[in-house]
Amino acid sequence: MVELVSAERRKWHLVDALSQVVGYDWVVLDYPPSLGLLTLNALCAAHSVIVPLQCEYLALEGLARLKGTTGA
């Protein structure tokens, strides 16, 4: 992932890779619970998002930040 830090279009590498995948109706992306570069790549490639979380205060704070990032 360190290689992507200085790369052009670094948030779109996963989109480019998945554009070559054909013959599937669904692709499930599982990524770490942070807003790092891996997560941003997955969010840029996704058409929809399912966010599992615990019913705790910090989890809800994280969900609020994620909603702010996705514009939802």
DSSP 12-30: GHHHHHHTT--S-S-----
Number of domains in the chain: 1
pTM for the model: 0.66
Provide the phi-psi class of 65: left if phi over 0, else alpha when psi is between -120 and 50, else beta: alpha
What pLDDT digit, counting tens, does each position of 8-63 carry?
777 787 888 888 888 988 888 888 877 788 888 888 888 888 888 888 998 888 88
Residue 9's domain comprises 2-70
